[in-house]
Structure 1
Amino acid sequence: MNPEQAAQSQAQLKYVELLLRKGMQEEARARLEELVRQEPPCTGAFYLLAVLKGEDGLPQEAAELLARTLALEPENTRVLNALGGALRQQGELEQAAAAFAEALRIDPRFSEARINLALLLKKALRFGEAELTLRAGIDLAPDSVRLNYNLANVLHAQGRSLEAVAAYRETLRLDPDHLDARQNLLFALHYSPQSSRREIYAEHLKAARSRPFRPPRQEPPARPTPGGRIRVGYLSPDFRGHAVASFIEPVLREHDRDRFEIFCYANVPTPDPTTRRLMGLTEQWRDIHGMADHNAAALIARDGIDVLFDLAGHTSGSRLPVFCHRPAPIQVTWIGYPDTTGLRALDYRITDALADPPGAADRWHSERLLRLPRSFCCYLPPVEAPELVPPPCGANGGITFGSFNNLSKVTPEMIALWSRLLREVDGSRLLLKAKPLADDGVRRRILAGFAEHGVAARRLELDPGQPGTREHLEQYQRVDIALDTFPYNGTTTTCEALWMGVPVISLSGERHCSRTGASLLTNCGLADLVTTSEAAYLDMARQVAGDRATLREFRGGARERLLRSPLLDAVGVTRELEAVLAELRATSRRRG
């Protein structure tokens, strides 16, 4: 291309970019189609058209255009990075990784390609490679917010909570208003016994003072005149195949439609079969994914919601800043997060007296705690659950302990405690199941942790998990006794274990996250399995392991026991919740 042609092409590209900024997509596409057909070709046009094709959900066409661009400019890192993105959309993950890696070979400081490669490796559960990729980038650009943030996420995914906390703090030092880093830090603090209750509460209040939770002053959203049924809104990113769905679905199903009108506000980027099932259980479904906070708040206000629920707290995909616009007169947090939000915009938090005993728990919340009379939640067992079988110790002779909890809950302190149990129960084994165990580095770290306490690798089975719900639950058939984690107890895993006939030994503490086991087990008539010290935890596990007859009886009657419990009493728990909601609206109207 001679200088005159190059100048004309650049002018054309600038015009196309102007069209795109003005939102004139169709005219921009037409111009680009002309430019890619001209001779000699304009590589910039190939790239821009490929980006638009990718946005249109046409990754194969985008990849073809980018490949033609690379034939002309083989070391164009921007194009290599875009090619990696197009290949990733097509599911060609190895080829995508190769494209990102080639961009980094040419320019090691190209952070976008480095982050894309690390995210790809993380998704493939190749955490060690993802970590090395990000650390190499931080060596070159130590003040990169995105590199530090993604490193924190990779560390957290491996269960290295203390290191993740340090990396989130570094991210926040570089960018104090980074909402995701702030929320992930709060969540990560709950996993380690080294985080005090006072420290965690202080961090929540600090987060509440940060910019994302201080929207600009404006007129409150317009609301219709209240009247008729109580309008209840549930806002969540987890209306999908997620643990939260197992606890909100029975409530949506059992709400009294004569008294309550139910709205769901879904921040779900990729709906799935669970999403579609939940849509059928609500009268009004609103998709707020990608919607600005103030627009989502205005939508909720126009719907005339009386009570708005947050079901996520400081977890991934939550929309807590929406609540700071005060779209509803009563705002409540429930189910999805084990602590206070720290926000004045949230008025109440739903719990029970076992999970949050009156007194101390109230002092560490910015919300007022509302305690349901029995259980703070109800559980919907998966329809795919396999039938119960006898405990495996009858066939293999030895006791198999198990934990299917998030690996972040398997702290060094937990490993030390479980090692003592394995040493004290002759012939016992431990089955750990968690996705990160697919990574060799993660497996070596876990095995080394047990080896430090005298437990050989042959007594451990590290399972990265199975893809389907039925296959996942079938693994409980290999477990005699489930071991709850501390200080962050299981919730869904405890419910699943009990439904599969496996007793759960739990260690209870002071915070909600270390008392969910106490609430769930007590509500199932299994308070004896709740302990309050490491010594009692070990003693209870030894007792249960030594009574094979009771293990068989427990498994045989497990589902009948749960079906009679508050944990599966969806109608009863929903009515108890509705009584609270009716009182809240009545109180609000009296004040108003």
Structure 2
Amino acid sequence: MGYQESAENQARLKYVELLLKKGMQEEARTQLQQLVQEDPGCARGWYLLAVLVGEQGFPDQAAKLLRQALRAEPENVKALNALGVALQQMGERDQGAACYGEALRIDSRFQEARVNLALLLKEGMRLAEAEALLSQGIALEPESVRLRYNYANVLHYQGRSLEATGAYREVLRLDPQHLDARQNLLFTLHYSPQFSDRQIFAEHLRAARSAPLRLPSSPSVPRRGRRIRIGYLSPDFRSHAVASFIEPVLKKHDRERFEIFCYANLPRPDRVTERIKGLCEHWRDLYNIPDQIAALMIAADALDVLIDLAGHTSGNRLPLFARKPAPLQITWIGYPDTTGLKQMDYRITDRHADPPGKSERYHTEALLRLPRSFSCFLPPADAPEVAPPPCLATGAVTFGSFNNLAKVTPEVIALWCRVLHAVPGSRLLLKGRPFEDSGVRERIASQFSTGGIGGERIELNPGEPESSAHLAQYGRVDIALDTFPYNGTTTTCEALWMGVPVVTLAGTRHAARTGASILANCGLDELVAENEEEYLEIARRMAADRERLLELRMGARERLSASPLLDAAGVTRELEAALEGILKERGVR
């Protein structure tokens, strides 16, 4: 017969749990240390002590304590799972995976271990394995919200956005208030041409009516100070695409007229975070601070304007905006659509990305169109020099796309197949981390094969983690092919900076028109197609004109440097003027 907890130990452990509920961690730790010293066979005591130590940021110590728990009770699945987490934090990924696997062998219904193992597999780009693992779990527990949510995320990361849309709807059927699933659903709707602007807008309104975003707001008191106070709130003040578009604005703000606050919601700051910190006068860390308290913090800063840089993307704080902590609230850059929130007053855009009279009906915000470009871009400092078009050396044109794989839909692949057929001998280089997974490569290759394009004409490259190596790959591309109906933004800017012309297809909504905006602002309207036939013809014409490719390549950086896209000072002045105009109109300033 195995170890049995004595009545005394059970009482002591209940007391420890009470201490933990009250936040008395040190007292709980002392009690647990005494308990395991007196009774080394008490697995639950070792486990709780390990959890405390792990939460304090000492995974190596937690792992030692968890091994003690497993000596006392080898089939303790909670201890096995926690050991897997500790080992993973220590960089021992394979050992961590083995712990999760052992916990599932003992108890196939133990969701914590299944989800942790699936996430570990996903991080390692073993996407087909992660999908299968979660699918098995769903077969055992069809009503599990957590398993279904992670399953939907894995589908989306593989680029199977239409399937992911259905999977997120299943999560919401089980839990209508699941905000992350609701917001991920909104994001995935933009990838497929099967969803109309009207349908997408209706989903945004539905999201805004959900409990997490349906909150009472407290009117802010206008402040009559010398300078206008602007706050920027983002989870992406780090090595992220959004930072490339907000950093130049933060640098160029007129500090005599504007006082800048940055509100960061990020778990892991990095070198970019430190750089951005130096570009604002007030830095506030909101990570893990509840919305109600964070709203009070922002209200205490007496802002004139609070600008959201995330929309419905990961790490956003839209429930905080729903509390209306600032008199004027605006969304910008991070999300290509309405938030659906009545508390969000404006969304910043331009006439190319949101043509006047066509986009207003699908927004709860008023559209604030900057005169030229809706944003400006900071070129990567480590970008290599522009290389000549590779076709001059190889004799054959290479098309390329480095966009998020979710944007590479069957409709996009079908048109790309037509482009390759129209340009004999041409090849296509696709780059994205999910291509590390053999299942993803096989699925994409199969879709090209259906379009009559053999594997010898397609390269599916997982890419490089370092920015300079990633950008150097543009030296292998003659012409970039944009995705649709969700265009590239950062990828388009990077391609143009590396001298690679980008062919884009302009659609009806912002996500489908960022390519048109960027190219128009760079004087490259010739690369903007209004339909698939034009897209095909532009790609064919560009491939046939080697002189034009060389001309575009060699003059690329001068062209961009002279464009609104790199005119950070000018775009920032335009933004400031627009904000001043709104505040004056509202009588706030």
TM-score by length of 2: 0.98
Aligned-partner Cα distance in 1 for 2:359–2:40 = 72
Mapped contact 1:221–1:297 kept (Cα < 8 A): no
Question: Is the contact between residue 5 and residue 42 of structure 2 (CA under 8 Å) also seen in structure 1?
Answer: no
Aligned to 1:504: 502
Structure 1 counterpart SS, 2:6: helix
Q: Is it true that 1:366 corresponds to 2:364 in the alignment?
A: yes
Distance in structure 1 (CA, Å) of the matches to 2:554 and 2:312 = 39
Equivalent residue number for residue 230 of structure 1: 228
In the alignment, the residues of structure 1 paired with residue 297 and residue 21 of structure 2 have an alpha-carbon distance, to the nearest angstrom, of: 27
The answer to whether the 8 A contact 2:223-2:304 is kept is no
The answer on 1:313 being equivalent to 2:334 is no
Are the aligned partners of 1:224 and 1:302 in contact in 2 as well (CA < 8 Å)?
no
CA deviation after TM superposition for structure 1 residue 30, in Å: 1.4
Structure 1 segment 361-400 matched on structure 2, within 5 A:
361-400=359-398
- Partner of 1:270: helix, strand, or coil? coil
Aligned pair 1:46/2:46, yes or no? Answer: yes
For residues 345-376 of structure 1, give each alpha carbon's deviation from its aligned partner in whole angstroms, at most 9, with x where no partner exists.
Answer: 10101000000001121111110001100000
Q: 1:172 aligned to 2:181?
A: no
- Map residues 372-451 of structure 1 onto 2, 5 A cutoff: 372-451=370-449
Residue type of the partner of 2:146?
R
Instruction: Supply the AA of the counterpart residue of 2:488.
Output: G
**1:74 CA displacement:** 1.1
Match of 1:12 in 2: 12
Cα shift at 1:92: 0.8
Gaps of 5+ in 1: none
Contact 1:43 1:69 in 2 (8 A): yes
- Equivalent residue letter for 1:576: E
Residues 156 and 4 of structure 1, relative CA distance in 2, 3 Å threshold: closer
Summarize the alignment of residues 552-567 of structure 1 with structure 2, pairs less than 5 Å apart.
552-567=550-565
CA distance in 1, matches of 2:576, 2:382: 30
Instruction: Quote the Cα distance in structure 1 between the aligned partners of 2:293 and 2:35.
Output: 39
Q: Counterparts of 1:71 and 1:426 in 2: how far apart (Å)?
A: 66
- Counterpart-to-counterpart distance in 2, 1:361 and 1:494: 23
Secondary structure at 1:379's aligned position in 2? coil
For the pair 1:81 / 2:81, whether they are aligned, the reply is yes
Superposition map of 1:58-97 within 5 A: 58-97=58-97
**Per-residue deviation, 1:224:** 7.3
Identity of aligned residues (%): 65
For the residues of structure 1 that align with 2:126 and 2:422, how far apart are their CA atoms? 35
After TM superposition, list the pairs within 5 Å mapping 1:450-489 onto structure 2.
450-489=448-487
Deviation at 1:378, TM superposition (A): 0.2
Q: Would you say the 8 A contact 1:222–1:302 is kept in 2? A: no
Contact 2:228 2:257 in 1 (8 A): yes
In structure 1, what residue type is equivalent to 2:554? Answer: G
Q: Which residue of 1 aligns with 2:513?
A: 515
Q: Which position in structure 1 is the counterpart of 2:533?
A: 535
1:41 is displaced (CA, Å) by 3.0
Deviations 1:9-63 (A, max 9, x none): 2222122112212221111111212222224432111100100111011111111
Find the aligned partners of 2:226 and 2:209 in 1 and give their Cα distance: 37
Q: Show structure 2 runs of 5+ residues with no match.
A: none
Task: Say if 1:159 and 1:410, in contact at 8 Å, map to a contact too.
Answer: yes
Q: Secondary structure at the match of 1:308?
A: strand
Structure 2 contact 371–574 (Cα < 8 Å) conserved: yes
Q: Tell me, in whole angstroms, the C-alpha distance in 2 between the residues paired with 1:442 and 1:105.
A: 27
Query: Matches of 2:400 and 2:4 in 1, distance apart?
Result: 72
Task: Give per-residue Cα distances to partners, 1:166-197, cap 9 Å, x unaligned.
Answer: 00000000000000000000000000000111
Provide the secondary structure at the position in 2 that maps to 1:589. coil
1:49-198 mapped onto 2 (5 Å cutoff): 49-198=49-198
- Residue 262 of structure 1 is matched in structure 2 by 260
Q: Does residue 290 of structure 2 align to residue 286 of structure 1?
A: no
Distance 2:504 2:40 in 1: 71
CA contact (8 A) 2:234 2:310 kept: yes
Following the alignment from structure 2 to structure 1, what is the Cα–Cα distance between the partners of residues 211 and 569?
41
- What letter corresponds to residue 71 of structure 1 in structure 2? R
Residue identity in the other structure for 2:453:
V
Shift >6 Å, 4+ stretches: 1-5
Q: CA RMSD in A?
A: 1.4
Asked if 2 retains the 8 angstrom alpha-carbon contact of 1:223 and 1:302, the reply is no
TM superposition shift of 1:2: 11
CA deviation after TM superposition for structure 1 residue 294, in Å:
1.1
Going from structure 1 to structure 2, the CA distance change for 1:4 and 1:75 (only over 3 Å counts) comes to: closer
Contact 2:338 2:365 in 1 (8 A): yes
| Residues in 2 aligned to 1:479 and 1:41: alpha-carbon distance in whole angstroms | 63
**Structure 2 residue matching 1:419: 3-state secondary structure:** helix
Find the aligned partners of 2:4 and 2:523 in 1 and give their Cα distance: 84
Tell me the residue number matched to 1:272. 270
Q: Are the equivalent residues in 1 in contact too, given 2:227–2:257 (CA < 8 A)?
A: yes
Note the C-alpha offset of 1:459: 0.5
Q: Which amino acid aligns with 2:565?
A: L
Instruction: Indicate if the aligned counterparts of 2:40 and 2:72 stay in contact, CA closer than 8 A.
Output: no
> Taking structure 1 as reference, are residues 4 and 535 closer, same or farther at Cα in structure 2, changes over 3 Å only?
closer
For 1:72 and 1:223, locate their aligned partners in 2 and report how far apart those are by CA, in whole Å.
60
- The answer as to whether partners of 1:377 and 1:567 remain within 8 angstroms in 2 is yes
Deviation at 1:225, TM superposition (A): 3.9
Q: Secondary structure at the match of 2:548?
A: helix
Q: Output one character per residue of 1:423-462: Cα deviation in whole Å (capped at 9) or x when no partner.
A: 1111100000011111110000000000001100010111
Query: Partner letter of residue 158 of structure 1?
Result: Q
CA distance in 2, matches of 1:344, 1:543: 46
State the shift of 1:7 in Å: 2.0
The offset of 1:67, in angstroms, is 1.1
Greater shift, 162-171 or 9-18, is seen at 9-18
Deviation at 1:226, TM superposition (A): 2.8
Counterpart of 1:246 in structure 2 is 244
In the alignment, residue 448 of structure 2 is paired with which amino acid? F
Q: Deviations over 1:181-240 (max 9, x none)?
A: 00000000000000111100000011111101112x47x277574321000000010111
- Residue 574 of structure 1 is matched in structure 2 by 572
The answer (yes or no) to whether the contact 1:236–1:311 under 8 Å persists in 2 is yes
In the TM superposition, residue 88 of structure 1 has moved relative to its aligned partner by 1.1
- Counterparts of 2:403 and 2:532, CA distance in 1: 19
Q: In structure 2, what is the Cα distance between the partners aligned to 1:141 and 1:156? A: 21
Aligned equivalents of 1:414, 1:557: Cα separation in 2: 29
When structure 1 is superposed on structure 2, of 542-551 and 241-250 the one drifting more is: 542-551
d(CA) in 2 for partners of 1:196, 1:125:
32
How far apart, CA to CA, are the structure 2 residues paired with 1:154 and 1:483? 25
| TM-score normalised according to structure 1 size | 0.98
> For residues 5 and 482 of structure 1, what CA distance do their matches in structure 2 show?
66
* AA in 1 matched with 2:96: A
Other structure's SS at 2:587 match: helix
Who is 2:343 aligned against?
345
How far does residue 4 in structure 1 lie from its aligned partner after superposition? Answer: 9.6
Instruction: Work out which of the residue numbers 294, 297, 309 in structure 2 matches 1:296.
Output: 294
More off after superposition, 516-525 vs 62-71: 62-71
Change (3 A) 1:5 1:249: closer
Give distance in 2, aligned partners of 1:53 and 1:408: 39
Q: Is the 8 A contact 2:42 2:72 kept in 1?
A: no
CA distance in 2 between partners of 1:481 and 1:467 (Å): 23
Amino acid across the alignment from 1:232 = I
Q: Which amino acid aligns with 2:21?
A: R
Change (3 A) 1:17 1:161: same
Aligned with 2:399: secondary structure? strand
Q: Is the 8 A contact 1:222 1:298 kept in 2?
A: no
